[in-house]
Amino acid sequence: MPIQTTEFIALDFDVPTTFITRNFYFRMLEPSVAKQDYDAVMSSIKRLRYLFGPSSVWPLNSMTLEENTASLKVHQQEFNSRTAFAYSVFDKSNTRCIGSVYIDPSQSPNYHCEVYFWIRDDNVYLEDHLYDTIDRWLKNSWPFTKIVFPGRSVEWKSWSKEINNKR
């Protein structure tokens, strides 16, 4: 199904609020997981600093639980309005937050979506498996055929050139 230019995702697509695999439990990123998410973020702050690109400063060392909760409210609103989709990644027992996935409209006309994800430092050994899981899930269960993982499937320098040439 082609992506329409007037919306990020077709209105008839039933966006999943959860996704369960052998190793991961994805659930919509929203305020009810704020404490668990905050713990995961703060445990991996140095690795996350460049998650959204070389000039990204998120997360700040001084980020509070309240600021994190406010951010999760924004993610929930984006999810509900279908403008972006963020998921908490929990361990397979759904008891511990181990990361997040962000599915955003692409800034480049060459892709349908851009995807960012992270996994906490003490679970970094699962990072490649998480990447493969997200990639397969999006290709097999979502209406996206052109997916980019900036900083991973496309180097930051190339990605920056691509999105700056669009403007």
- For residue range 77-86, list pLDDT tens digits in order: 999 999 999 9
The reported pLDDT for the residue numbered 6 is 47
Tokens of 43: 């445990």
Closest by CA position to 69, among listed 118, 30, 17 = 30
What are the extents of the domains in the chain?
18-166
The reported pLDDT for the residue numbered 137 is 97
**pTM exceeding 0.75:** yes
What is the percent of the chain with per-residue pLDDT over 70, rounded to a whole number?
Answer: 95
The CATH homologous superfamily of the domain defined by 18-166: Gcn5-related N-acetyltransferase (GNAT) (3.40.630.30)
CA 64 distance to own-chain centroid:
21
Closest by CA position to 42, among listed 103, 122, 133, 156 = 122
| Bridge partner list, 119 | 99
The reported pLDDT for the residue numbered 127 is 95
